Amino acid sequence: MDIQFTEEQELLRSSIQRVLRDQYDFDARRRIVASEQGWSRERWQAFAELGLFAAPFPEDVGGLGGGPLSTMVTMHEFGRHLVVEPFVETIVLAGGLIGHAGSEEQKRALIPDIIAGTKIWALAWTEKGSRFNLADVATTARRDGKDYVLTGEKTAVVAAPWADHLIVSARVAGHRWDRGGVSLFVVDRRAANLDLRSFKTIDGRRAAEVSLRDVRGRLLGNEGEGVSALEACRDRAIGALCAEAVGVMAELNSATLEYSKIRKQFGVTLGTFQVLQHRMVDMFIAHQEALSLMQHLNLSLDANEIGVSRLASGAKSKIGYAGRFVADQAVQIHGGMGMTDELNVGHYFKRISSINIQFGDPAYHVLRYAQLDAAA
């Protein structure tokens, strides 16, 4: 599969490429990650001014109507440059949930600030022992006037240290695994009784353990519909993460090929060894297969096709295994220097490893794909 981009999509892609080439090379990225904040507000605002945050949203909320395909274009280029700013967390996850589950009043109140780049969001859904089950929620919420009071623990909330607001899943009824008892809530990250324990992730980003003790939050959408909203959000997030992974794979292949042309062993360049040529061909094939599947998934998401959730699991699994294969081979061919901090290859390897466990690792999605296939 090879998507023929529209004029608007080509313009978006070329604009992103230009900005990232000029402002987000590997050295600039290392400085951003090493800074106290761990991300760049200046770069974030530059992305907003470029229209990247408006692109996926429909026009009736101030967006440009680009949908999942604009997200795919953005995330593919972000993957090539290892962008750490929270586009997926704020635009795809939070923005997508507000657009999908929020009331008209909530959309008008919350989405414009996201598009303008003035507010950062994070999604707090994972809990200890829940693995990848969206319905496994022990955090509770009880109604108190117009608001709700939340109590519980959320783990590994990516971008929470940067966020102004969190979307938190919490149980209003039922047992721990009851799908129908989960709702979503908007919580101010600086709310009273909300404790944040920040840490660095292996790929250079920031996340946090979040503790809530009678924290006030506002219901997002309808009560009891949190799991279905999260499932739709997960499919869109997988589409974005797969695009990012394919961008990472493209850079790993390019770096490995260039290295094989200049690195000499036994008096000849590495690229002359047939066994390494075969490896790099396999890496190229894995990338091309992943690229086609990623495009197929995002086209299906854009068309809102029936069965897209099954396709998302298939893509997450296939691209996850392909990404790990390409990353492993790139590190091996580069040798010991492949995992040094000074070389970008190791950083791409770590990002692939992180993508592989977000919203379910490849093994989980193989099983989920089989279950959805049997149910079809």
> Nearest-CA neighbor of 118 among 190, 210, 193, 54?
54
As a whole number of angstroms, the distance between CA 104 and CA 118 comes to 20
Using CB atoms within 10 A of its CB, is residue 128 exposed (0-12), middle (13-18) or buried (19+)?
A: exposed
> Considering only the top CATH level, what class is 7-118?
mainly alpha
What fold is seen in the domain 228-375? Butyryl-CoA Dehydrogenase, subunit A; domain 3 (1.20.140)
Strand-pair partners of 266:
none
pLDDT digits (tens, 9 = 90+) for 232-284: 999 999 999 999 999 999 999 999 999 888 877 777 887 677 888 999 999 99
pLDDT digits (tens, 9 = 90+) for 328-365: 999 999 987 888 888 999 999 999 999 999 999 999 99
> Nearest-CA neighbor of 250 among 359, 175, 130, 330?
330
pTM for this model (two decimals): 0.96
pLDDT of residue 209 exceeding 70, the answer is yes
Q: What is the DSSP string of 306-339?
A: TTHHHHHHHHHHHHHHHHHHHHHHHHHHHGGGGG
pLDDT of residue 376 exceeding 80, the answer is no
Tell me 197's DSSP state. Answer: E
User: Where do the domains of the chain lie?
Assistant: 7-118, 122-224, 228-375
> Nearest-CA neighbor of 319 among 211, 245, 250?
245
pLDDT digits (tens, 9 = 90+) for 114-164: 999 999 999 999 999 998 999 999 999 999 998 999 999 999 999 999 999
Tell me 136's DSSP state. Answer: -
CATH of domain 122-224: 2.40.110.10
